[in-house]
């Protein structure tokens, strides 16, 4: 077979993937293949039980180091940095950053999406007239998860933040906004934007208009005179996100931006209604493309913007969000010392045949979809003198698979359709055992790509579409199709149902602990 001819001067796109536990910069060629990558883990700050913070300056420096590291590796392969035509951003969503517009300095650590410190505040808000109607407008339930309650907590508890608000100099952003602002040089250019897939995670954006909804903002008693929110622009835009003010890619335009779960859907090419993906990262998030109109769930799912690539290319998704997935594996590594690294989880789980009667409800931040139980906390059931570390490892990985099953059941009820196959990605999907367990429990094949950096690929696609690296979705047909692995169900439905019943019982029993 003759080798495929390569273009004389191939083009590349960079993607910043700023996740919950690590930052990556990945350079893709126009066939969607990874050419160079640099990844850095950064500090997870847990000041109190249930609190979770990141240092906003460290997020920026991790991005800058990753860009420089990946570009160095790229150039070592004989490429030149001016072949990189654009950069896309994808990021952990909901995580809230506040800064002073006049100095560009953060006023507090970023409050991470998993953080439950606003639990009491949320309980009080639930009694406010109109709380039940919020979801219909913004797609999200009133909980500690979206950015709104995190911002209110900062205003109530951090005097510097309140003073900046009163003086009209407070800037608020999800991580995409913070990155775009700082990477453009901060106060020098004042790029203050967000895309709809990120803005839809604040509770301030109206899903229909893709703009802020005055009634939503008023409901939270925020004064728009005092706090100007970032401008919402398309997920793929040649101008709105500015360009890199420093690093080895100084001057390269940022032309794409997507929340990480939306980016993974794009990276899996879930462009058409009925397509879905499940990303097993720190948390686990199933997004199901529902088309160009939002669908409000009546079964515990969120409604969110999948992506906005302009008229005719604007899609919504139903989302099942699981707060704890890979983080439970990290918990076994970092807190309990069960294994030396996450990649050893499967080996430990395989030292036993089954979970030995152990169920682990990994509700470290309460339980998200489809249960939304904010007062549940991590609970291990069924421990006996027989229990080994392997049983707990197995129960840990099963927890995410069970919750995914509960989400798929809700999705079938909301959409009236069942998935034929589940596309997967994210760190935890590296484990064959987890993927096989998942397929067994949901009774459909699980389809894993060989190239698992789908989140970064999604950001690269958003950026590349804006500058003509790809002119439309059709040109992406051949991207990320080779080498996929299919895990097919190997147990019968009755035994999967029996296991799931025990999980549901455990979920009910984990309620109320943090009340």
Interactions with ligand ADP, residue window 5-34 (CB under 6 A) = 19-22
Is residue 119 part of the contact set for ligand ADP (CB under 6 A)?
A: no
- Residue 283 in the binding site for ligand G3P (CB under 6 A): yes
Q: Which residue is nearest to ligand G3P (CB)?
A: 281
Indicate the residue among 164 and 286 with the shorter CB distance to ligand G3P. 286
Binding mask 460-499 for ligand ADP (x = CB under 6 A): ----------------------------------------
Q: Rounded CA gap, 319 and 139, in Å?
A: 10
Write out the binding residues for ligand ADP, residues 266-305 only, by CB under 6 A: 281-282
Rounded to the nearest whole angstrom, what is the least distance from the CB of residue 20 to ligand ADP in the complex? 4
Identify what 93 binds: ligand G3P, ligand ADP, none; CB under 5 to 8 Å per kind: ligand G3P
| 129-142 exposure pattern, b = at least 16 Cβ within 10 A, e = fewer | eeeeebbebbbbbb
Give the residue with the Cβ less far from ligand ADP, 139 or 426.
426
Q: Which of 281, 294, 370, 449 binds ligand G3P (CB under 6 A)?
A: 281
Residue 17 Cβ, how far from ligand ADP at the closest point, in Å? 7
Q: How far is the CB of 323 from ligand ADP (least distance, A)?
A: 12
Q: How far is CA 21 from CA 40, 51, 257, 432, 457, in A?
A: 9, 15, 19, 22, 18
Closer of 37 and 252 to ligand G3P (Cβ): 37
Question: Do residues 193 and 241 touch, judged by C-beta distance below 8 A?
Answer: yes
Residue 300, token pair as written in the block: 């515990």
User: Considering the rule CB under 6 A, would residue 175 count as an interface residue with ligand ADP?
Assistant: no
- What is the CB neighbour count within 10 angstroms for residue 492? 11
Residue 454 near which of ligand ADP, ligand G3P, none (CB within 5-8 Å, type-dependent): none
What is the C-alpha to C-alpha distance for residues 222 and 155, in angstroms, rounded to an integer? 10
CB of residue 344 vs ligand ADP: minimum separation in angstroms? 8
- Residue 116's binding partner, choosing from ligand ADP, ligand G3P, none, with beta-carbon cut-off 5 to 8 A by kind? none
CB of 230 to ligand G3P, least distance (A): 17
Q: Could you tell me which stretch among 154-162, 198-206, 301-309, 342-350 binds ligand ADP (CB under 6 A)?
A: 342-350
For residues 18-37, which are near ligand G3P according to CB under 6 A?
19-20
Cβ contacts of 466-471, under 8 Å, gap ≥ 24: 466/86, 466/236, 466/237, 466/238, 466/255, 466/256, 467/85, 467/86, 467/238, 467/253, 467/255, 469/11, 469/13, 469/30, 469/85, 469/86, 470/30
Beta bridge partners of 26: 15, 37
Q: Which does 428 bind (CB under 5 to 8 A by kind): ligand G3P, ligand ADP, none?
A: ligand ADP
Residue 149 binds which entry of ligand G3P, ligand ADP, none, with Cβ cut-offs from 5 to 8 Å by kind? none
Residue 327 touches ligand ADP, criterion: CB under 6 A: yes
- Rounded to a whole number of angstroms, the minimum distance from the CB of residue 390 to ligand ADP is 14
Closer of 91 and 359 to ligand ADP (Cβ): 91
Interface with ligand G3P by CB under 6 A: which range of 136-144, 275-283, 379-387, 470-478? Answer: 275-283
What are the backbone angles phi and psi of residue 419, rounded to the nearest 5°? -70, 145
346 belongs to the binding site for ligand G3P (CB under 6 A) = no
Q: How far is the CB of 157 from ligand G3P (least distance, A)?
A: 23
CA distance readout (Å), 484 to 131, 279, 308, 326, 449: 44, 15, 27, 22, 4
Task: Choose the contact partner of 431 out of ligand ADP, ligand G3P, none; CB within 5 to 8 A by kind.
Answer: ligand ADP
Q: Which residues of 388-416 are buried (b: 16+ CB within 10 A; e: fewer)?
A: ebbbbbbbbbbbbbbbbbbbbbbbeebbe
How far apart CA 52 and CA 94 sit, in angstroms, is: 13
Residue with tokens 């990945």, as numbered in its chain: 26
Q: State how far the Cα of 285 lies from the Cα of 261, in Å rounded to an integer.
A: 7
Surface-to-core class of residue 293, CB atoms within 10 Å of its CB (0-12 exposed, 13-18 middle, 19+ buried): exposed
Residue 82 CA to residue 253 CA, distance in Å, equals: 11
Please state, in angstroms and as integers, the Cα–Cα distance from residue 459 to each residue in 76, 198, 207, 471, following that order: 24, 13, 21, 15
Residues 6+ apart with CB under 8 A from 101: 169, 170, 171, 187, 190
**Could you say whether residue 262 binds ligand G3P (CB under 6 A)?**
no
Task: From the list ligand ADP, ligand G3P, none, pick the one residue 30 interacts with, judged by a Cβ distance below 5 to 8 Å according to partner type.
Answer: none
Helices (H), 335-446: 345-349, 389-415, 432-442
Closest among 303, 72, 87, 309 to 184, alpha carbons compared:
87
Write the DSSP symbol of residue 86: E
Beta carbon of residue 96, minimum distance to ligand ADP (angstroms, whole number): 17
* Residue nearest to ligand ADP according to CB distances in the complex: 427
**Binds ligand G3P by CB under 6 A, chosen from 30, 198, 235, 261:** 261
Segment 93 to 152, residues that bind ligand G3P, using CB under 6 A? 93-94, 113
In the block, residue with structure tokens 């309980």: 123
Nearer residue to ligand ADP within complex by CB, 19 or 458? 19
Site residues (vs ligand ADP, CB under 6 A): 19-22, 281-282, 326-327, 329-330, 342-343, 345-346, 426-428, 430-431
- Residues of this chain that interact with ligand G3P (CB under 6 A) are 19-20, 92-94, 113, 259-261, 281-283
């Amino acid at each position: 077979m003759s080798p495929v001819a390569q273009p004389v001067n191939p083009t590349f796109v960079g993607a910043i993937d700023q996740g919950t536990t690590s930052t990556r910069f990945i350079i893709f060629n126009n066939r969607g293949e990874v050419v160079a990558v640099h990844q850095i883990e950064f500090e997870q700050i847990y000041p109190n039980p249930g609190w979770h913070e990141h240092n906003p300056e460290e997020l920026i420096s991790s991005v800058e180091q990753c860009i420089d590291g990946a570009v160095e590796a790229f150039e070592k392969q004989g490429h030149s940095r001016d072949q990189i035509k654009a950069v896309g951003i994808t990021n952990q969503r909901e995580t809230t950053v506040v800064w002073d517009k006049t100095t560009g300095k953060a006023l507090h650590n970023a409050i991470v999406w998993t953080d439950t410190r606003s639990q009491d505040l949320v309980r009080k808000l639930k009694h406010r007239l109109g709380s039940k109607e919020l979801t219909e407008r913004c797609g999200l339930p009133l909980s500690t998860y979206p950015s709104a309650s995190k911002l209110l907590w900062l205003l109530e508890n951090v005097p510097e933040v309140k003073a900046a608000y009163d003086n009209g100099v407070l800037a608020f952003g999800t991580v995409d906004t913070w990155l775009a602002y700082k990477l453009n040089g901060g106060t020098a250019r004042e790029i203050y934007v967000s895309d709809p897939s990120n803005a839809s995670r604040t509770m301030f954006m109206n899903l229909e208009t893709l703009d802020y909804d005055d009634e939503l903002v008023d409901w939270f008693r925020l004064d728009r005179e005092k706090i100007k929110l970032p401008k919402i622009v398309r997920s793929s835009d040649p101008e709105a996100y500015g360009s890199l003010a420093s690093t080895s890619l100084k001057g390269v335009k940022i032309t794409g931006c997507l929340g990480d779960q939306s980016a993974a859907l794009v990276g899996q090419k879930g462009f058409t209604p009925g397509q879905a993906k499940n990303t097993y990262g720190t948390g686990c998030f199933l997004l199901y493309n529902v088309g160009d109109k939002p669908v409000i769930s009546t079964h515990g799912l969120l409604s969110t913007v999948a992506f906005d690539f302009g008229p005719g290319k604007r899609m919504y998704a139903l989302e099942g969000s699981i707060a704890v997935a890979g983080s439970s594996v990290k918990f076994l590594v970092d807190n309990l010392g069960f294994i030396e690294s996450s990649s050893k989880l499967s080996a430990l789980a395989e030292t036993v045949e089954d979970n030995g009667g152990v169920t682990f409800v990994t509700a470290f931040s309460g339980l998200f979809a489809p249960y939304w139980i904010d007062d549940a906390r991590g609970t291990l059931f069924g421990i006996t003198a027989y229990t080994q570390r392997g049983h707990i490892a197995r129960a840990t990985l099963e927890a995410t698979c069970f919750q995914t099953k509960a989400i798929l059941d809700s999705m079938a009820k909301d959409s009236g359709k069942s998935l034929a196959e589940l596309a997967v990605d994210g760190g935890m999907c590296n484990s064959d055992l987890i993927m096989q367990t998942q397929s067994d429990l949901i009774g459909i094949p699980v389809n894993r790509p060989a190239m698992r950096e789908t989140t970064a690929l999604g950001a690269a696609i958003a950026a590349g579409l804006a500058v003509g690296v790809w002119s439309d979705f059709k040109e992406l047909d051949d991207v990320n199709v080779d080498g996929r692995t299919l895990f097919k169900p190997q147990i019968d439905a009755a035994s999967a149902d029996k296991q799931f019943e025990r999980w549901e019982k455990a979920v009910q029993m984990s309620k109320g602990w943090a009340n």
